[in-house]
Homo-oligomer: A and B are copies of this chain.
Amino acid sequence: MTQLQRAAERSAAEFAAARAHGDPSLEAFARAVLGLVAEPGDGVLGRVIGTIGAVDTAESLLAGGSAAELVERVVEAGGDLDEGEATTGLDRWLPRLDHGAFVRSLSQAVRVGAVLLTPGDAAWPLGVDELGVHAPLGLWVRGRADALSSATPTIALVGARAATGYGEHVAMEASAGLVDRGFAVVSGGAYGIDGMAHRAALASDGTTVAFLAGGVDRFYPLGHESLLARIVQTGAVVSELPCGAAPTKWRFLQRNRLIAAASRATVVLEAGIRSGSLNTAGHAAALGRPLGAVPGPVTSPASAGCHRLLREFDAVCVVDADQMAELAGGGRGETIGRRPPVAAAEGGGRSSAAGHSNGMAADDPSGVRTLDALSTRTPRDVTDVARRAGLSVPEAMSALGRFEAEGIVERRPSGWLRRRAG
């Protein structure tokens, strides 16, 4: 019996409960253990696990093996790890290997009804695997474990804690509109924009998911305790940190990568020039996910971060739920790409007015000029109309014919008349 099996047996009851929705396998147990010893996004650990698997990695740590032994196992399995990396890694992980703390964390998870999802579970959000060696080892979930499954299109709505009334209004409209279009709304549970996005989704009977930077056993921020409790009823509160873990700056930054990775698209609704939501936006961009930003008054510092995203990150300007849904490829299974830029017309020539004016006339220079040349009071003959329009008589006649068919002009015995609008 390996040390990992012995450790698993010592935590058996709690661990099985924490895997309520999946198989309490040794693989899952190993990931739970490793989640305790490493900070989120530990790339060295991610590489080791990627090569020799979570079970062997956890065995290595529990056996208190040397750096040389770890390197040997990884290299034997075809991976890449040098002794310096292994030494530094073990030096990071081993001091945290504490069975007592682990059991306390598991008990706490069971107490609050948190379950552990691991890769391969049906409800695992596939998007986070794109983080590669920085992917989460597992996700602790309170609420509906399948809230992030690929069956539901997800969109991240994030923004500043210091939101304005404008930002909160836009967040509310956007979130409600996206719920109507079948999206689950992902955010960070913070004050300001995040809170408004969650609240509006709940109010629309939609699914919303909050990613936390600490364990899901303690809701942060404190003022959102009841909001997060409501999210648990119909959606999910999620973290890669084990129960008992406190939120830190680093964990907030890493939490942001999960919000971006678990969502089809990320939209920043309002953000100061140094808002943490720009970090989430950076992750979305790095992952190649669609990134949207809602503009606001240039006189409002609370929109400066959004404008920076439009300028520097090539974020797409989105002004309503429709455009956000389009950004995320459409709700309810639709796939709608970003519209290509409308081809601008050749300078001054034929169709430069197209798309910028009302009615058919604008699509055609002869039409514009013929209408220019007509009066609503004085009938004019076709030669007069042509001269005034700077057109040949056949060009003017052709335009007049079309406008007559459309009911825009009128033929009188004494000449042509433009009909009054309305």
Residues of A with Cβ closer than 8 Å to B?
37-43, 87-89, 91-93, 95-96, 130-134, 166, 169-170, 248-251, 253-254, 256-257, 260-261, 274-276, 278-279, 281-283, 285-287, 294-299, 303-304, 306-307, 310-314, 316-320, 323, 339, 341-342, 344-350, 352-353, 355-358, 365, 368-369, 371-373, 383, 386-387, 389-395
Q: Which residues on the B side are within 8 Å of A319 (C-beta)?
A: 298, 304, 307
CB contact between A297 and one of B95, B131, B166, B256 (< 8 Å): that residue: B166
Given A249-B372, A310-B295, A314-B341: A91 and B348 interface contact (C-beta under 8 Å): no
A126 to B364, CA, bound (A): 28
In the complex, what's the smallest C-beta–C-beta distance from A163 to chain B, in angstroms?
14
Given A95-B386, A297-B297: A392 and B87 interface contact (C-beta under 8 Å): yes
Q: Which residues on the B side are within 8 Å of A95 (C-beta)?
A: 383, 386-387
Tell me if A348 and B283 are in contact (CB < 8 A): yes
A333 to B190, CA, bound (A): 47
Tell me if B43 and A344 are in contact (CB < 8 A): no
* Extra pairs beyond A166-B299, A311-B317 (8, CB < 8 Å): A39-B389, A91-B386, A95-B383, A257-B352, A279-B352, A283-B348, A283-B352, A286-B347
A389 to B37, CA, bound (A): 11
Q: Which residues on the B side are within 8 Å of A283 (C-beta)?
A: 344-345, 347-348, 352
Closest B residue to A98 by beta carbon equals B387
A88 to B396, CA, bound (A): 11
Tell me if B312 and A310 are in contact (CB < 8 A): no
A154 to B187, CA, bound (A): 44
Contacts A/B (CB < 8 Å), 18 sampled: A37-B390, A91-B393, A96-B390, A132-B347, A134-B347, A134-B348, A249-B357, A249-B371, A250-B365, A260-B347, A274-B356, A276-B357, A281-B344, A282-B355, A286-B352, A296-B297, A307-B317, A313-B341
In the complex, what's the smallest C-beta–C-beta distance from A321 to chain B, in angstroms?
11
Assembly stoichiometry (copies)? 2
Tell me if A345 and B286 are in contact (CB < 8 A): yes
CB contact between A344 and one of B282, B296, B389 (< 8 Å): that residue: B282
Q: Which residues on the B side are within 8 Å of A314 (C-beta)?
A: 341
Most buried by B among A249, A295, A314, A394: A295
In the complex, what's the smallest C-beta–C-beta distance from A312 to chain B, in angstroms?
5
Given A296-B295, A342-B313, A368-B253: A134 and B395 interface contact (C-beta under 8 Å): no
In the complex, what's the smallest C-beta–C-beta distance from A361 to chain B, in angstroms?
8
Q: Which residues on the B side are within 8 Å of A92 (C-beta)?
A: 386, 390-392, 395
Tell me if B390 and A342 are in contact (CB < 8 A): no
Closest B residue to A37 by beta carbon equals B390
A260 to B170, CA, bound (A): 34
In the complex, what's the smallest C-beta–C-beta distance from A250 to chain B, in angstroms?
5
Give me the 7 closest cross-chain CB pairs, A-B, nearest first.
A295-B295, A91-B392, A134-B348, A39-B390, A248-B372, A310-B317, A285-B344
Tell me if A394 and B310 are in contact (CB < 8 A): no
In the complex, what's the smallest C-beta–C-beta distance from A36 to chain B, in angstroms?
10
